[in-house]
């Protein structure tokens, strides 16, 4: 059974590219348009991995991570930030919120898949 | 001088009066009226000075009012200019933001289409590769999902080997049969030789029979010469001669049969030789042809495998290029964020101008207006601080860093 991944980003093109990359490798992908949408979808069903952007309307990525970590089913689920933000202060905030890793855009599909395989196999 | 004008005026008047008195002392004596005139003359400078000072004071009292009027006019002009500026700036900001929104829409549309194109291209390359694999697998007799480099190749090689082995067995058997045929031909030749010897023996037999016949004839002549006494011997001689004749007939008959047999053997020998040589030539030729075909098929197989390998490499290259395109196309996300950030900065500038323009001069004292301005700027501080944080630090579209915590 294919592993399930939730990708949260307000950029439709980024969602499209992440989905294409992951689906090509056999993963099942669900898209969310912002942090709140991501949280709603994460509550509705569980995912093996979550990708999230930082700067989004309604709810940003770090807030989403905090919200997800507060849910029992997402205590240990890998959550990766995929963002243009690259400042150490922001990374520290993300790490404190419970992020598993930090990927700075633009992403290379092959390296993205390597990270996914490393994190969820 | 300005602090004590009355004292100075009095002092000056007294000084003039005193000087005139000194002049009077040195000249003819004066009467009271003249004295009064002199005092009056002494007081005049004081009056003049006092009048001058009052004018100056009055002028100083009137000057602030003129400045105020001038400042007021300037402030009105400034407010008017500010309103014009704000309206113009609003228009410019509005147009710029509209154009930025248009740029975002164009970028979105173009990027989506480009992504569709690139991902579609990779999908087509993969399907092409899959079809090629399927084609080669079917040609090679392997399952469609199999890899042409292992299972399919083994199957096809096995097919070629089996064909070669079967053909070799067939050719070997044929060659063996031909060899047997040639041995048979040799044996036939031996039979022919032996029959020739039999013929020689028959010649000997015929010679004996002829001599026997001749002897019997001589014996009959001798028996006839002996007369009555040789009558019995004549009968014997006659029987011997008959036996020699019958022997000769048998010999002839045997020779005739032998000739038939010899003819049949010769014929069989020729046929066997013909069959053996034909089989061997055909088998050798067939083996050569099939070996050539197998070699050719192996070459085609190798070429197909090489083509599949190249196609596979080309598909990988397409995939890598599409991945590179995907990485590069993410400039749109960065560009969109930068455009939004730039739009935000413009919005802040407009808000500040709105704040400044909203301070109504006629309702506020100058000091209050400054306070309001400071307050408006303070209100913008948060926005200004946020605008200082640029969400995009990248200056190129190289893949970003990855850090796992």
- Token digits of residue A80: 């990766």
- Mean pLDDT is lowest, of B21-25, B40-44, B128-132, for B21-25
Q: Does B386 touch chain A (CB under 8 A)?
A: no
The pTM of this model reads 0.61
pLDDT at A1: 82
Q: Does B394 touch chain A (CB under 8 A)?
A: yes
Report helix angle B32-140 to B151-226, nearest 10. Answer: 20
Residues of chain A in contact with residue B108, where contact means CB-CB under 8 angstroms, are 12-13
How far CA B367 is from CA of B72, B77, B352, B364, in Å, comes to 14, 19, 19, 8
Residues of chain A in contact with residue B332, where contact means CB-CB under 8 angstroms, are 11, 13
Q: Does A13 touch chain B (CB under 8 A)?
A: yes
CB contact under 8 A, A102 and B332: no
DSSP A44-72: HS--SEEEE-SS-SSS-HHHHHHHHHTSG
pLDDT range class, residue B144, cuts 50, 70, 90: very low
Residues of chain B in contact with residue A22, where contact means CB-CB under 8 angstroms, are none
**Closest residue in B to A97 (Cα–Cα):** B405
pLDDT range class, residue B143, cuts 50, 70, 90: very low
pLDDT range class, residue B45, cuts 50, 70, 90: low
pLDDT per residue over B224-270, tens digit each? 888 888 888 888 888 988 888 888 888 888 888 888 888 888 888 88
Handedness of CA B214, B216, B217, B221 (dihedral sign): positive
CB contact under 8 A, A105 and B334: yes
Q: How far does the CA of residue B313 sit from the closest CA of chain A (Å)?
A: 16
CB neighbours (10 Å) of residue B204?
Answer: 11
DSSP state of A83: E
3-class secondary-structure state, position A101: strand
Q: How far does the CA of residue B93 sit from the closest CA of chain A (Å)?
A: 22
Q: In this structure, are residues B14 and B42 in contact, taking their beta carbons and an 8 Å threshold?
A: yes
The CA-CA-CA angle for residues B47, B51, B54, to 5°, reads 140
pLDDT at B13: 56
pLDDT per residue over A86-112, tens digit each? 899 999 999 999 999 999 999 999 999
Q: In this structure, are residues B153 and B298 in contact, taking their beta carbons and an 8 Å threshold?
A: no
CB contact under 8 A, A101 and B337: no
CB contact under 8 A, A17 and B326: yes
> Looking up tokens 């197989």, which residue turns up?
B301
- Token digits of residue A15: 């969602």
Q: In this structure, are residues A51 and B357 in contact, taking their beta carbons and an 8 Å threshold?
A: no
Q: Does B173 touch chain A (CB under 8 A)?
A: no
**Closest residue in B to A119 (Cα–Cα):** B404
CB neighbours (10 Å) of residue B223?
Answer: 19
């Amino acid at each position: 059974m294919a592993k399930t991944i939730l990708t949260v980003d307000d950029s439709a093109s980024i969602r499209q590219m992440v989905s294409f990359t992951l689906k090509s490798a056999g993963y099942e992908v669900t898209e969310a348009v912002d942090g709140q949408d991501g949280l709603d979808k994460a509550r509705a069903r569980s995912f093996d991995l979550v990708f999230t952007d930082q700067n989004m309307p309604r709810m940003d990525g770090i807030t989403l991570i905090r919200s997800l970590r507060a849910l029992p089913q997402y205590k240990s689920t890998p959550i990766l930030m995929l963002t243009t933000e690259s400042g150490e202060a922001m990374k520290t905030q993300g790490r404190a919120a419970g992020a598993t890793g930090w990927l700075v855009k633009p992403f290379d599909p092959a390296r993205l898949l390597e990270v996914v395989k490393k994190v969820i196999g | 001088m300005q602090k004590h004008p009355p004292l100075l005026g009095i002092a000056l008047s007294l000084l003039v009066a005193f000087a005139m008195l000194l002049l009077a002392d040195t000249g003819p004596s004066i009467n009271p009226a003249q004295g009064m005139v002199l005092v009056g003359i002494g007081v005049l400078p004081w009056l003049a000075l006092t009048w001058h000072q009052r004018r100056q004071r009055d002028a100083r009292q009137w000057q602030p009012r003129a400045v105020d009027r001038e400042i007021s006019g300037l402030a009105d002009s400034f407010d008017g200019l500010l309103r014009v500026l704000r309206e113009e700036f609003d228009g410019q900001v509005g147009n710029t933001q509209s154009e930025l929104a248009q740029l975002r829409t164009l970028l979105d549309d173009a990027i989506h289409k480009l992504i569709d194109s690139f991902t579609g291209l990779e999908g087509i390359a993969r399907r092409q590769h899959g079809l090629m694999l399927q084609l080669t697998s079917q040609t090679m007799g392997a399952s469609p999902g199999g890899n042409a480099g292992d299972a399919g190749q083994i199957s096809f090689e096995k097919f070629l080997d089996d064909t070669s082995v079967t053909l070799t067995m067939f050719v070997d058997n044929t060659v063996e049969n031909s060899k047997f045929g040639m041995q048979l031909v040799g044996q036939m030749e031996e039979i022919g030789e032996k029959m020739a010897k039999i013929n020689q023996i028959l010649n000997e037999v015929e010679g004996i029979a002829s001599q026997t016949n001749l002897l019997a004839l001589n014996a009959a002549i001798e028996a006839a010469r002996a007369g009555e006494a040789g009558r019995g011997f004549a009968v014997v001689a006659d029987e011997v001669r008959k036996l020699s004749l019958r022997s000769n007939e048998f010999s002839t008959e045997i020779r005739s049969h032998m000739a038939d047999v010899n003819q049949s053997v010769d014929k069989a020998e020729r046929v066997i030789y013909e069959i053996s040589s034909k089989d061997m030539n055909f088998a050798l030729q067939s083996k050569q042809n099939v070996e050539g075909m197998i070699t050719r098929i192996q070459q085609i197989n190798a070429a197909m495998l090489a083509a599949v390998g190249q196609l596979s490499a080309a598909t990988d290259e397409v995939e890598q290029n599409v991945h590179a395109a995907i990485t590069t196309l993410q400039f749109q996300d960065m560009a969109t964020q930068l455009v939004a950030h730039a739009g935000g900065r413009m919005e802040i500038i407009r808000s500040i101008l709105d704040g400044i323009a909203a301070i109504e001069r006629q309702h506020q004292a100058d000091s209050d207006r400054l306070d309001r301005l400071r307050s408006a700027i303070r209100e913008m501080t948060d926005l200004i601080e946020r605008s200082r944080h640029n969400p995009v630090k990248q200056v190129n579209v190289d893949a970003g860093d990855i850090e796992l915590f």
